[in-house]
Amino acid sequence: MLAPLLAAVTVLVLSFTYHKLRYIRFQQYAHFPQLPSSLLLGHLKAFGEFMKANKPDAHPDMAMVAMSQALGRPPLMFVDMRPINDPLVVVGDPEIADQLTKASKVFPTSPPKSSRSLERLSYVLGPTSIFSQHSEEWRLLRRRFNPGFAPQYLVTFVPDILDKGLIFLARLDSLSKTEETFSLMNLTTRLTFDIIGKVVMETDLDAQDYDRSKKGELVDLFETLLDSYNGERHNLPWWLTIQRVRRRAALSNRITSLLRVIVRRKHAELHEKGKDNTNARSVLSLALQDITSLTSSIMDETCDQLRTFLFAGHDTTSILLSWVFYELSRTPHALRAVHAELNNLLGSDTSPSAVRTRLLEQEDLLQQMHYVSAVVKETLRLHPPGGTARVIPPGSGFTVRMPSGEQQCLDGLLVYNCQSIIHTDPKAFGDTADNFVPERWLADDSSDIPAGAWRPFERGVRSCPGQELVNIEARVIIALAVRRYNFIKAGMGEVTLDESGRPSLDEKTGQYKVTEKLYAARQVTAKPVDGMMMRVRLSS
């Protein structure tokens, strides 16, 4: 009697499960463009196949680009990553991306960021990072820490950026004598750590001291912590990576303890000088100006923002500089244009001291570097450090307007602005969408490009507050280094030579041909897979 009943119940449960799964996989989001789905795996199998067809260790965005192209580049693409991740909609249209990041009645500070993606970085950023906050909590943090990123304060750090840049050049001078192969990413990372430490905390981090015993402990801890994320291709739950999580927690706690010392010292200095202190200029000093008492919550909140700015402030610029020197090394017409502009603005003396003197004598020279700025902008277009993922809670009633005019509801979905898709959209960038063409950003050529088609710092109310700092840093370092050195790629991405031993030029793109295309891997953010291995020579 019991056996037939159990059998009937089992059949009913299996039937219900099967029909529920079929609905979830094939009907629930059938109105979105998507690749063929698997009943058991959704799009996980297809995603894996696109990863393998590209490069197994490449950044996942590369697979997303290929999937989007396979579907004809739709404005929205559904990717079913369940049960590993939430159901995902990938945005490939600049206007829809703008709708996602702007303030609305439903979300006054734009939709909340994905907690799952940020949880993975909680040991780097801290639990109260401005990256992970939203609504009023985010607004208060932005108001408190934003003043330090105002242009009038950032330009006062140009002498410091130059000084840190001279240390960078000294290291390149040394490497030019031996012509040994080195990681440019390693050098630019230490350079930008040095700079961001000065801008955010007015503290010398000694990041460019290659004697490990002399290098600042804070930098060493950050490097070790960030290295622990290399090679991670999936956001695995913590209980599958217990040893790694414990190691990260220990490193994170030590970083916090060092930052607490800096915060207390800076607060004491400000208190001694009084509220009318006009010398405060760092992000930390300006954020502490109105703080009379360092409560535990203020201390924790402040340390978490420092961690966030130290990470974001060094990471984007170090990646950018590595790709800038690489792209210029294989694009002769762009390199000549950069040289011509800098010769015109700074004079023919390319010595570090001469460049430093000129930049300090005339403050507006950085703003006159139009072609250099176009190079920076084009590099960020082709090599963005990472997009933004937002969660639309069920029942929010959040819709976006499609290019066709229809409204599309995104409730219950993880929505990802994929910069690698948006930045290479032929509708915005034409037949040269995949090519390095700085000229597209010069005044006469850029008016037809939709504003939302370029978003390396994202857009809307939550755009990156440090983008002006990145632009200042990049222009200063390029001005110091680009005429002094010839950068020669080694290994992946190196230039192909013709029979006479000269670089082989691709007439269509205006770039030298390469033996193998260099690509980005996921190392917290999107970084050159090989660390940008280079050799360097002094220019003749």
Please report, rounded to a whole number, the percentage of residues in the chain having pLDDT higher than 70.
96
Identify the DSSP state of 514.
B
Considering the chain, what is the average pLDDT of its residues? 93
Span 418-440, average pLDDT: 97
Read off the pLDDT of each residue in 241-252 and give the average, rounded to a whole number: 90
Contact of 207 with 197, CB cutoff 8 Å: yes
454 CB-contact burial (10 Å; exposed 0-12 / middle 13-18 / buried 19+): buried
**353 CB contacts (<8 Å, ≥6 apart)?**
none
Q: What is the pLDDT of residues 466-486, one digit of tens each?
A: 999 999 999 999 999 999 999
Neighbours of 322 (CB within 10 A): 25
Query: What per-residue confidence (pLDDT) applies to 158?
Result: 97
Q: How far apart are CA 235 and CA 60, in angstroms?
A: 12
Evaluated on CA atoms 121, 389, 51, 46, the torsion sign reads positive
Cβ neighbors of 247 (< 8 A, separation 6 or more) are 228
pLDDT tens digits along 289-304:
999 999 999 999 999 9
Q: Which residues, in sequence order, are CB contacts of 361 under 8 Å at separation 6+?
A: none
Where along the chain do its domains lie?
Answer: 59-538
Answer yes or no: is pLDDT of 232 > 80.
Answer: no
* Mean pLDDT for the stretch of residues 27-32: 92
User: How far apart (Å, rounded) are the C-alpha atoms in residues 150 and 302?
Assistant: 19
Helices (H), 274-351: 283-288, 296-329, 332-346
The pLDDT of residue 22 is 86
Give the whole-angstrom CA distance, residue 512 versus residue 506.
6
**Distance separating alpha carbons of residues 454 and 460, to the nearest angstrom:** 12
In 3D space, the residue among 330, 304, 350, 319 whose CA is nearest the CA of residue 485 turns out to be 350
Evaluate if residue 7 carries a pLDDT over 80. no
- pLDDT confidence of 212, banded at 50, 70, 90? low
Q: How many other C-beta atoms can be found within 10 angstroms of the C-beta atom of residue 93?
A: 24
The topology (CATH level 3) of 59-538 is Cytochrome p450 (1.10.630)
pLDDT, tens digit (0-9, with 9 covering 90-100), for 37-81:
999 999 999 999 999 998 889 999 999 999 999 999 999 999 999
Mean pLDDT computed over 140-160: 95
Q: Taking the model in full, what pTM does it have? A: 0.94
Residue 204: left if φ>0, alpha if ψ -120 to 50, beta else—which one? beta
**Mean pLDDT, residues 501-511:** 95
pLDDT band (50, 70, 90) for residue 275: low
For the segment 262-270, the average pLDDT, to the nearest whole number, is 94
The C-alpha R_g of the chain, in whole angstroms, comes to 25
Owner of token pair 């010392």: 261
What SS3 class is residue 372? helix
**Weakest mean pLDDT among 18-32, 94-108, 295-309, 348-362:** 18-32
204 vs 324: CA distance, rounded Å: 26
- Token pair listed for 380: 């960020």
Question: Which residues lie closer than 8 Å to 405 by C-beta, 6 or more apart?
Answer: none
